[in-house]
Amino acid sequence: MVNKQESLMAAITFFAKAHAGEVCGSNGLPLTPNSIAILGRSQKLKELRHSNLCQYLDVIRGKHERTVVVSEYHGTTLQEKCKDKLNNDLILRLFYQVASALKELNEHKLVAHNLEPKHILLDAYNNVKLFNYGLFYMTKSGDHVAFPIGNIKYMPPERLVGIKNNCKSDIWSLGMIVAELLLQTQFWPNLKISSISRKILSFCQSSNVFEKIAREHDKLEMYQELDPDLRNLVEQCLAVKPTDRPLPQEILNHPLFVRNLDLYLVTPKEKSSTLLLRMPLEQIYYWWQLAGGDVQAELKKEGLIRSEAPILSIPQVVCLNGNIAGPKRSQSYLMDDRVVILKMQNLLDRLSKIPAMAYYPLIHSPKFPYNFGVGMDQLPLVIREKDIEYQFYRVRLFSRLLQGYPYTSETIRKEAAIDIPPLLRGQIWACLLDVIPNGSYEKIDKFTPTSTDRQIEVDIPRCHQYDELLSSPEGHLKLKRLLKAWVTAHPQYVYWQGLDSLTAPFLYLNFNNEELAFHSVYKFIPKYLQWFFLKDNSAIIKEYLCKFSQLTAFHEPVLAQHLSNIAFIPELFAIPWFLTMFSHVFPLHKILHLWDKLMLGDNSYPLYIGISILKQLKSTLLASGFNECILLFSDLPDIVMENCVVESQKMYESTPKSIAHRFHVVREKELGPFDITPDVTLAHLQKEMSPRISANDLHFMLRNDPNAMLCLDIRSVSEFNRVHLPDSINIPFSNINMDEKSLELLNEPLLEEKMHNRIIICISNVHENAVEFSKFLVECGVSRVCILHQGFNILHSIEPNILVSN
Amino acid sequence: MATTPRSGGSAGGGTAQRPNGTSQSKSCQFKLVLLGESAVGKSSLVLRFVKGQFHEYQESTIGAAFLTQTICIEDTVVKFEIWDTAGQERYHSLAPMYYRGAQAAIVVYDIQNQDSFQRAKTWVKELHKQASPNIVIALAGNKADLSNIRVVEYEEAKQYAEENGLLFMETSAKTGMNVNDIFMAIAKKLPKNDGANNQGAGAGRRLNENENNRQTTNCCK
């Protein structure tokens, strides 16, 4: 059944129980499909790493409540193996290693409840791994499936009367399995389930179950010849009262094992000669998918997923209570516990040309960053994300870099600017946000009821619910904990609707690492949304939106003009954009790409994203009136994220920092006299259509890239002649006729050509004049117009002198 | 917030949306605002009215959303410009921006939630105090499909509505019950000046937004 060389991963599938009849709960909301609940619960299992447990890799929802579970798998099942007689040492080894697996499960408060020989795998070194041990947990003690979990033969008596979730139940099963091996027989091979259950229940009156079974199977002699210690331990495992059975740890400490421990411990495997097989399994699985691996297709091939013509299953009568009369329920919906091995050959072929170096890239080597995947970084992002080779290089590189974090932050930042491999996005974002988990999340109170709870509770079931993980009960619980923790950790702030959307991407990416999700939000908010969550945030939001209008005028003067003419103010549409950093307006997959870039920028970056959205809709907006514009935004049409990202990046890079200056930000450096000074108030911003530029930025451009700007000096001719900036143009304000919006009236030859592609800085000594003039330029459609903050006089103070005179 | 999005019918310089071939009928535009506690179903009511849809997991509204819908009553074409506001108390400071200049308001509560009914009463009070004096207010007890687990009694709400001169209906955005009806009832109650059948003459006319003019701005075309 299993091809030894190739087996590494396998899939099983089953159906979750469909909700009968009623589709809505008492609150009027639809009941969560059980398969979604399973999906949410099963995530935790993926985190288990233990040498005696098969690693869970993925849980997929198929059609009609189907669940597919992908996990590690290799070697032979005990069921196969025990067809031959096993020697005593091997039985002991198995006993020990399964107990060791049970100990790990117990520590995570998991009970397998389906321990049986076919779920015990042995590899070539006779190392033991449990398989499919999470089924009981992920189905919420079996509540979410219609079939019973576990093989009745190995069930303890208490389980038959409905007691579950006690790890001692697994100890009984282990006892039964070992007993079978020791007695070299299969118990009750021909009994019906009902008879087996009667047998098991009858054990309740027995004082020694092991002996009773041995007697029953004519194996009493064999039983009596067993090592008394071993026999005794098995008898303890098969104690009728769960409390009399040993804990996994007690089995592991038993003298029986301790005296020859080396025989029973896991033998370390030789390192595989195939480099790929040394990689973390979750990465291998990820590449396997990129190499064209499709779990559901594999299951179809094996006949585990059978599709039937829907018409054959249409009911003839459906009663109002949900009962259905019609064709018999298809057999393909029944539980089929076959295991399907996922073949590796295709992946191995695809990666055969990868140089060994790429598996473990040396980041401090002079050859770094090598030439892996060279040229591919020019391909569109969506293609890069699906390219197996490219993702191989990226995942390996970032795995390496993440191991070195925080010492590698700079390289991580640099590489992240190229792109971020989706598999590691959550961790990489955390690095970009300078997160260093310190255990503080655990200590935050997430449970005491607060006045915010009601709001959080009504918001969560509406937050990105199209996503399977976020709509699962587990997802709801986690999001609630995160939000409550954030509110508790910030007594100075309050919960504003929108915080839920903002937190969701972090939870989505770090579903199994709430702490990382929490710290990421914790760092993200001050970086981009400082003071937005104050109880009274109006000053912050007003400043933000004013700056947004100014920057729109700066980059898109014609559009800004139009929007201003139709009174289409950002207050009406942009609050959810910025308050949630677009996480409320776009679906998750779009937010991820947007935030990949956002994380690399500073607090002004989101403003450029906003403008790039306007820019994409420009032609429609220009042709529309107020109603059409606002309707367009109520139902934001398909924004192409890639363009949006490229555009915002361009604007972000080409705009001097002071242009986007806001007062309400966390500042790393104190502002100096040549920066935008704090005396610029909201009232100023509201009056000025164009943003101000600082003397510092002007000076910087003058020295480094004077062709990037054009200074329009609107002082009088005499003032200009006395002293001015080199290459500046004098257009005396008093001579300007601004009645008609035309540059020609300025009487400056070739002005338009000179302005092309430059930042236009209006300089005056009378600030109001500069404001008026800049507005005129914007109205003439001139882009990138700004005003020199503090006017011409500030330039006198710059040393060494930058001014010249005629 | 000092800015008013637009009071009903004020010219936006944009294209006027008038149904064609209605030369006989009058056409009016009204600005309508939805107010009420969070998660009572404001957005769902609008969505049902405008698009005939219902989303179980309707996303929360941040700030506000805007939609329009046109209906006919008798010989009048009525266009609603609907501002659907955020329910969370914290967004309260934004609300005046939306109800200022509105000719109609629907205050929504959830019949399963007593607090939301109390909140609705507060909204009514605020509207009486702050909004246009002639504003038509309707009270909607939403989620009527869940009347088996109701907390707010029909009679109680009805009496309150009568005492305060409100239109009242229990609605269900989920089933569609009374959704169109409540908008229709509002449209009927809104004054449609006879003098307003001067079609075309008023197109593009820029209207003042001050209180005195509000009455006449109801019917712009």
- What value does the mean pLDDT take over residues A369-395? 88
At residue A111, the 3 state secondary structure works out as coil
What's the CATH architecture for A537-660?
Orthogonal Bundle (1.10)
Query: Does B62 contact A463 at a Cβ distance shorter than 8 Å?
Result: no
For residue range A662-713, what is the model confidence (pLDDT) as tens digits?
999 999 889 999 999 999 999 999 999 999 999 999 999 999 999 999 999 9
- What value does the mean pLDDT take over residues A354-358? 90
Report the residue from A30, A471, A627 with minimal CB separation from B12: A627
| The pLDDT of residue A767 | 96
Residue A445: other Cβ atoms inside 10 A? 10
Identify the H or E element spanning A290: helix A281-290
A517 and A654 Cβ atoms separated by less than 8 Å? no
| The pLDDT of residue B57 | 87
| The pLDDT of residue A374 | 77
Look at A245-249, A689-693, B206-210 and tell me which has the smallest mean pLDDT: B206-210
Q: Does the pLDDT of residue A330 top 80, yes or no?
A: no
- Residue recorded with tokens 């109002």: A320
- What value does the mean pLDDT take over residues B27-51? 95
Identify the H or E element spanning B47: helix B42-51
The residue of chain B nearest to residue A629, with distances taken between CA atoms, is B14
User: Where do you find CATH 1.10.510.10 in chain A?
Assistant: 76-183+195-203+212-263
Kindly report the backbone phi and psi dihedral angles of residue A338, in degrees, each rounded to the nearest multiple of 5, phi listed first.
Answer: -65, 150
- C-alpha angle B106-A637-A595 in degrees, rounded to nearest 5: 105
Of the options 3.40.50.620, 3.40.50.2300, 1.10.510.10, 3.40.50.510, the CATH number for the domain spanning A76-183+195-203+212-263: 1.10.510.10
Q: Does the pLDDT of residue B19 top 90, yes or no?
A: no
- Residue recorded with tokens 């042995």: A122
A179 and A209 Cβ atoms separated by less than 8 Å? no
Report domain extents, chain B.
26-189
DSSP letter, residue A323: -
Q: What is the pTM of this model?
A: 0.91
At residue A719, the 3 state secondary structure works out as helix
Fold that domain A441-529 belongs to in CATH:
Helicase, Ruva Protein; domain 3 (1.10.8)
Q: Does the pLDDT of residue A383 top 60, yes or no?
A: yes
How many residues are recorded in chain B?
221
Residues from chain B that touch A535, judged by Cβ atoms under 8 A, are 90
* DSSP per position, A186-249: -SSTT--HHHHHHHHHHGGG-S-HHHHHHHHTT-HHHHHHS-HHHHHHHHHHT-SSGGGSPPHH
What's the CATH architecture for B26-189?
3-Layer(aba) Sandwich (3.40)
Phi-psi region of B187 (alpha: psi -120 to 50; beta: other; left: phi over 0): alpha
| The pLDDT of residue A48 | 97
A643 and A615 Cβ atoms separated by less than 8 Å? no
Query: Does B60 contact A466 at a Cβ distance shorter than 8 Å?
Result: no
Q: What is the percent of chain A with per-residue pLDDT over 90, rounded to a whole number?
A: 81
Q: How far is A183 from chain B (nearest CA, A)?
A: 58
Q: Does the pLDDT of residue A3 top 50, yes or no?
A: no
Query: Does A572 contact B67 at a Cβ distance shorter than 8 Å?
Result: no
At the fourth CATH level, which superfamily is domain A682-797?
A: Rhodanese-like domain (3.40.250.10)
CA distances from A739 to A477, A736, A742, A743, A746 (A): 62, 9, 9, 11, 12
- Confidence at A177, pLDDT banded by 50, 70, 90: very high
CA distances from A151 to A175, A214, A508, A660 (A): 14, 20, 36, 67
| The pLDDT of residue B213 | 37
Nearest-10 crossing angle of helices A499-509, A425-432 = 120
| The pLDDT of residue A519 | 98
If you average pLDDT over each of A82-86, A634-638, A715-719, B23-27, which comes out highest?
A715-719
Three-state SS annotation for A11-63: EEEEEECCCCCCCECCCCCECCCHHHHHHHHHHHHHHCCCCCECCEEEEEECC
CA distances from A200 to A119, A178, A220, A329, A657 (A): 21, 17, 19, 32, 77
| The pLDDT of residue A107 | 97
Closest listed residue to residue A345, CA positions, set A393, A299, A298: A298
Q: Which of A453, A454, A455 to mutate to test the interface with B (most CBs of B within 10 A)?
A: A455
- Confidence at A22, pLDDT banded by 50, 70, 90: low
- Residue recorded with tokens 């924004």: A639
What CA–CA distance (Å, rounded) separates A651 from A691? 14
- Confidence at A329, pLDDT banded by 50, 70, 90: low
Closest listed residue to residue A692, CA positions, set A795, A557, A787, A552: A787
| The pLDDT of residue A215 | 94
Q: How far is CA A650 from the centre of its chain?
A: 27
User: Average per-residue pLDDT in chain A?
Assistant: 93
Handedness of CA A723, A726, A728, A731 (dihedral sign): positive
Residues from chain B that touch A461, judged by Cβ atoms under 8 A, are 57
Q: Does the pLDDT of residue A170 top 80, yes or no?
A: yes
Q: Does the pLDDT of residue B214 top 90, yes or no?
A: no
Report the residue from A455, A566, A571 with minimal CB separation from B38: A455
Kindly report the backbone phi and psi dihedral angles of residue A774, in degrees, each rounded to the nearest multiple of 5, phi listed first.
Answer: -65, -40
Query: Does B6 contact A567 at a Cβ distance shorter than 8 Å?
Result: yes
For residue range A433-483, what is the model confidence (pLDDT) as tens digits?
999 999 999 999 999 999 999 999 999 999 999 999 999 999 999 999 999
What CA–CA distance (Å, rounded) separates A585 from A463? 11
The residue of chain A nearest to residue B144, with distances taken between CA atoms, is A28
What CA–CA distance (Å, rounded) separates A643 from A636? 16
- Count helices and strands in chain B by DSSP H and E runs: 6, 6
Closest listed residue to residue B207, CA positions, set B3, B4, B9, B32: B9
Residues from chain A that touch B65, judged by Cβ atoms under 8 A, are 634
| The pLDDT of residue A6 | 55
| The pLDDT of residue A324 | 78
- Confidence at A25, pLDDT banded by 50, 70, 90: confident
Residues 6+ apart with CB under 8 A from A513: A426
A579 and A529 Cβ atoms separated by less than 8 Å? yes
| The pLDDT of residue A186 | 92
Q: Which residues pair with A30 in a beta bridge?
A: A24
| The pLDDT of residue A326 | 76
Closest listed residue to residue A73, CA positions, set A251, A349, A285: A285
Q: What is the ipTM of this complex?
A: 0.84
For residue range A632-645, what is the model confidence (pLDDT) as tens digits?
887 776 889 989 99
Q: What is the percent of chain A with per-residue pLDDT over 70, rounded to a whole number?
A: 98
- What value does the mean pLDDT take over residues A729-744? 89
User: Where do you find CATH 1.10.8.270 in chain A?
Assistant: 441-529
Structure token pair of residue B155: 């009679």
- Confidence at A289, pLDDT banded by 50, 70, 90: very high
- What value does the mean pLDDT take over residues A16-24? 77
Three-state SS annotation for B161-183: HHHCCCEEEECCCCCCCCHHHHH
Query: Does A459 contact B60 at a Cβ distance shorter than 8 Å?
Result: yes
What CA–CA distance (Å, rounded) separates A430 from A595? 12
Q: How far is CA A348 from the centre of its chain?
A: 27
Residues from chain A that touch B97, judged by Cβ atoms under 8 A, are 571
| The pLDDT of residue A368 | 76
Q: Which of B10, B58, B62 to mutate to test the interface with A (most CBs of A within 10 A)?
A: B62
Report the residue from B15, B38, B66 with minimal CB separation from A625: B15
Q: Does the pLDDT of residue A40 top 60, yes or no?
A: yes
Q: Does the pLDDT of residue B6 top 60, yes or no?
A: no
